[in-house]
Amino acid sequence: MDSMERLREIVETSDRIVAFTGAGLSAESGIPTYRGAGGLWTKYDPNIYANIDHFLRDPTYYWNFFQEVRYPIISQAQPNPAHDALVELERRKLLKTVITQNIDGLHQMAGSQNVIELHGNTRRIGCMECGKEYSMDEVYGKLQDQLPPRCDCSGGLKPRVVFFGESLPFEALEGANDAVKDCDACLVVGSSLVVYPAAMLPVLASEKGARLAIINIDPTPLDHMAEVVINDSAGDVLHTVVKGGFE
C-alpha cells in the first residue's frame, strides 16, 4: 500500500478523527508560514511583532505590520481545498474536531463547525481596558488617523491572539487535550511541529493509541511516530484522499 492509499484507509476506517493544523494548511490561501516552504518574506519579524513584551512597549511596530501586511493578506484570503476537505470529513461524521494553531479563521469560513483555536484569532481585536471587541475592518479604519489605534474608551487595542510570551487559553488547551485523548486518528496538516505546547497534542494522541498521519511539505521532528508521512501540499493530498479518490 502506498502512502496515499494508507492515508485514505486511515481516513475511511476512523470515525473520531482530530485534525491538528498549522500555517502550512493556509499557505495555499496566500498566507505565508513562519517556517519552511513559502515562509514569511516581509520586513517584519514575527519575533518582534508577535512578542508580548515588545507589543506592550511599542505597539506601533505591530500596527504598522497590521496595516501593511496582515490586514491586506488576511482580509483577502479564502479557504483552499485542504480546508474544504476537512469540512467534508466532518460532514461525513468521520472528523470530530479541528485543532488549529492558525489565527486566520479560515476553517470557520470554510464551514468547519467544531474548531479549537489554540492561538486565538487575528480577526478579533479587543480593548485591553474595557474588553470591547472590534473587527479588523473597524481597526483598519481607525488606523487611517490614529497610530496606535485606541478603543472608544481610549484603552489600547490588542488582537485576540496568543503572542510569544503569553500562555495558551486554558479552555482551548483543555478542549484540545480532551479531543486528542478521545480520537482514533490524528491528521497533522501543515505544521512544522516545533511550537510547544501545541506540538504535544499529536504526541498525546499517538500515546493514547490513535493512528498518526502527517501531511507537511518538510519533515517534522515527530515523523518517526507517524504511521504515514506525506511530504506534499496539503490541498492536493487532502483533496485527492477525501474528495477525489486516486484511481
d(CA 2, CA 241) in angstroms, rounded, equals 12
Given 14, 97, 112, 233, the residue binding ligand NAD (CB under 6 A): 233
Cα 102 to chain center, whole Å? 2
CA 83/CA 108 separation, integer angstroms: 9
Q: Which of 18, 19, 31, 188 binds ligand NAD (CB under 6 A)?
A: 31
Please report whether residue 59 would count as binding ligand NAD according to CB under 6 A: no
Indicate if 107 belongs to the active site: no
**How many whole angstroms separate alpha carbon 181 and alpha carbon 179?**
6
Q: Which residue lies nearer to ligand NAD by CB, 30 or 131?
A: 30
Q: Which of 99, 104, 185, 205 binds ligand NAD (CB under 6 A)?
A: 104
SS3 of residue 167 by DSSP: coil
Contact characters 190-229, ligand NAD, x per CB under 6 A = xxx-xx--------------------xxx-----------
Is it true that the peptide bond before 149 is cis, omega within 30 degrees of 0?
no
Catalytic residue among 54, 107, 119, 239: 119
Out of 14, 51, 97, 101, the residue judged to bind ligand NAD by CB under 6 A: 101
Residues 6+ apart with CB under 8 A from 209: 184
Residue 145 CB, shortest distance to ligand NAD, in Å, is 28
Point out which span in 5-13, 33-41, 90-98, 151-159 binds ligand NAD (CB under 6 A): 33-41
Q: Which is nearer to ligand NAD, 137 or 218 (CB)?
A: 218
Chain centroid to Cα 45, Å, comes to 19
- Binding test (CB under 6 A) with ligand NAD, winner from 27, 136, 179, 205: 27
- Please give the Cα distance from 222 to 246 (Å, whole number): 27
Q: Which of residues 154-173 bind ligand NAD (CB under 6 A)?
A: none
Q: C-alpha cell of 102? A: 492558525
Report the 10 Å Cβ neighbour count for 195: 16
Q: Give whichever of 151 and 216 is closer to ligand NAD, judged by the CB atom.
A: 216
118, three cell numbers: 489554540
Q: Is the dihedral of CA 191, 104, 54, 200 positive or negative?
A: negative
CA distances in angstroms from 22 to 31, 59, 120, 123, 134, listed in the order given? 11, 26, 13, 17, 25
Nearer to ligand NAD, 120 or 148 (CB): 120
Q: What is the chain's length?
A: 247
The closest residue (CB) to ligand NAD is 24
Q: State the nearest-atom distance from the C-beta of 218 to ligand NAD, in Å.
A: 3
By CB under 6 A, what part of segment 67-86 binds ligand NAD? none
Residues that bind ligand NAD in the complex, under the rule CB under 6 A? 22-24, 26-28, 31, 33-38, 101-104, 119, 190-192, 194-195, 216-218, 233-234
